[in-house]
Amino acid sequence: MLRLNSRDPGFDKAFRRLVRNRRESGEDITRDVALILDEVRNRGDDALAEFTRRFDGHALAADSDWSIGRDACREAYDNLAPDLRVALDLAARRIRAYHEAQRPADRDYTDDTGIRLGARWRAVDAAGLYVPGGRAAYPSSLLMNALPARVAGVERLVVVTPTPGGRVNPLVLAAAHIAGVDEIWRIGGAQAVAALAYGTQRIRPVDVITGPGNAWVAEAKRQLYGVVGIDMVAGPSEILVIADGRNNADWIAADLLSQAEHDPAAQSILITDDPVFADTVADSVGVALSMLHTAKVAGESWSTHGVIIEVASLAEVPALANALAAEHVQIAVEEPQPIADAIRHAGSIFLGRLTPEAVGDYIAGPNHVLPTGRRARFASGLSVLDFMKRTSFIQLDEAALRAVGPAAIALAEAEGLPAHARSIETRLGQ
């Protein structure tokens, strides 16, 4: 675990190195993914069967090996323990309600020249949702991807999820039932993303692919952008916790480990103005790790990528946070709003000592699919808009065309495009 102190002479250089550090795929993954995409594009289902057998230990032979039907999803939901069913239903209601407020409004108006202008929003026809199933299976990810798509009005929802050794997580199936997923295919990795983008003999292509995955999944989405739309290229998870010394160190340690346990490449960063508290949190992380069944993953993440930064004053925090542009920013101070107001770049912000990031992962409502790797500088979390597109429209009558046409003709001629100019001139009788 790295310790930095803003008072040290070499801090600026060390912090810039931290900001520039990339924890994502290298050239070997880029090359391997390109080969996988090419195989699926050319060989379709045969390539999917081969890759699924090799990577997941699951044979795709009969139709039942390929997909999971709605009846199985309903059965999984009915067989859930009552407390889990209540929890999933509550999460779904809150996620749906939050995203319904994101639906954009159409525009239709006439300006002072008499030109009718506007735009309409429409959902894509089909969305592909990647749901991880390797290191862990996440029903919360299915809800976070499927419900905004449904709110947007997407008619066909297609889930791909790996089933290592043929094992299916019933919580994922229950979440699929709640969200009304249309198709579930038992494939994962870059090959699943390729199947969604290109289509195969069994799987029809989609228009947009969303959802988190490993480095191969992220790289496949990057390479296929343009063939399909994507939400983002997501890297390993990250959290920045800003905390003063009046916090419970065990709470903050748990917050840091909540992201570290996702992936050995995940990153947890603490910024504090209290050096004694920093030491206490470091000790608490060690104690907490000894009690986690995810200790191997979380411990590797913390020891390799964990960071504690001591600052002279919390007034330094916004500049550091903006440079890090973290996926999750948790502000555990008495008055968090002034710091939050000064942070321009963050995937999602969690305000106050009683707002752990984990609440946002499951039940709060805002989407937990968020930009990583400093992409919060220019990207936002998944929303209804990722499943929609805007089409503008224009309508002129004769008076309106006479009001603006001559200016358009002048610009067309200046650009050396006479046919553009002529298409307007002929309507004006010129």
15-45 pLDDT, tens digit per residue, is 999 999 877 666 789 999 999 999 999 999 9
Distances (CA, A) of 404 to 107, 224, 430: 21, 41, 14
HSE, side-chain direction, 13 A CA sphere, residue 349: 22
Predicted local distance difference test score (pLDDT) of residue 134 = 56
Quote the pLDDT of residue 72.
96
Tokens 């495009």 belong to residue? 417
Q: Mark whether 239 and 223 lie in a shared domain.
A: no
Does a structural domain hold residue 191? yes
For all residues of the chain together, what is the average pLDDT? Answer: 95
Q: How many CB atoms within 10 Å of residue 306?
A: 24
| Residue that is last in its domain, among 206, 229, 252 | 229
Is residue 136's pLDDT more than 70?
no
Containing H/E element for 94?
helix 82-100
pLDDT of the residue at 133: 79
Phi, psi dihedrals of residue 401, rounded to the nearest 5°: -65, -35
Q: pLDDT tens, 162-189?
A: 998 888 889 999 999 999 999 999 999 9
Take residue 231 and report the two structure tokens written for it: 């939400």
- Is 372 part of any domain? no
- DSSP states of 227-293: TBEES----S-EEEEEE-TTS-HHHHHHHHHHHHTT-TT-EEEEEES-HHHHHHHHHHHHHHHTT-T
Helix 45-56 vs helix 189-198: crossing angle, to nearest 10:
160
The strand pair at 238-243 and 267-272 is best described as: parallel
Q: Please give the model's pTM, rounded to 2 decimal places.
A: 0.93
Whether 253 maps to a domain, the answer reads yes
Residues 69, 158 within the same domain: yes
Asked if 98 and 222 sit in the same domain, the reply is yes
34 and 7 in a common domain: no
**Same structural domain, 69 and 213:** yes
* Residue range of the domain that includes 266: 2-24+235-364
pLDDT-derived band at 61, boundaries 50, 70, 90: confident
List pLDDT tens digits, range 73-110.
999 999 999 999 999 999 999 999 999 999 999 999 99
Choice between 235 and 177, residue whose per-residue pLDDT is larger? 177
Q: Examine the domain organization and report whether 402 and 283 are in the same domain.
A: no
User: Could you tell me if residue 377 is inside a domain?
Assistant: no
Those residues with Cβ within 8 angstroms of residue 261's Cβ, 6 or more apart along the chain or in another chain: 292, 294, 297, 298, 301
Active site residues: 327-328
Do the strands 116-123 and 156-160 form a parallel or antiparallel pair, or are they unpaired? unpaired
Q: Are residues 82 and 133 in the same domain?
A: yes
Residue 243 counted as domain residue: yes
In the predicted structure, residue 275 carries a pLDDT above the cut 80: yes
- The gap from C-alpha 145 to its chain's centroid, in whole angstroms, comes to 9
Last residue of a domain, one of 229, 249, 270: 229
Provide mean pLDDT across the span 381-398.
98
Token pair in block for residue 25: 């795929």
Q: β-strand 208-210 against 107-110: which pairing, if any?
A: unpaired
DSSP codes of every residue in 7-45: TSTTHHHHHHHHHH---S--HHHHHHHHHHHHHHHHHTH
Check pLDDT > 80 for residue 350. yes
Mean pLDDT, residues 210-230: 94
Strands (E), 294-405: 307-310, 328-332, 348-351, 388-395
How much is the average pLDDT of 38-63?
94
The values of phi and psi at residue 318, to 5°, are -55, -40
CATH of the domain at 214: 3.40.50.1980
pLDDT at 422 over 90: yes
Kindly state whether residues 325 and 342 are assigned to the same domain. Answer: yes
Contacts (Cβ under 8 Å, ≥6 apart) of 9: none
Max mean pLDDT among 23-27, 56-60, 111-115 falls in 111-115
**Strands 267-272 and 208-210, how do they pair?**
unpaired
Is the distance from CB of 44 to CB of 204 less than 8 angstroms? no
Portion of the chain with pLDDT greater than 70, in percent:
98
Do 17 and 49 lie in a common domain? no
Shared-domain flag, residues 249 and 204: no
Q: What is the pLDDT of residue 138?
A: 86
Q: Are 279 and 377 in contact (CB under 8 A)?
A: no
pLDDT given at position 130? 96
Q: Are strands 388-395 and 2-5 parallel, antiparallel or unpaired?
A: unpaired
Overall domain count for the chain: 3
Token match 């709470």: residue? 251
Q: pLDDT above 90 covers what percent of the chain?
A: 91
Domain end (from 364, 385, 404)? 364
Coil, strand or helix at 127: strand
State how far the Cα of 302 lies from the Cα of 394, in Å rounded to an integer.
55
Q: What pairs with residue 79 in β-bridges?
A: none
Query: Which of 67-71, 211-215, 220-224, 357-361 has the weakest average pLDDT?
Result: 211-215
Asked whether residue 319 falls in the same domain as residue 211, the answer is: no
d(CA 112, CA 211): 44
**What was the pLDDT predicted at 165?**
87
Q: Are 186 and 280 members of one domain?
A: no
Residue 10 lies in a domain: yes
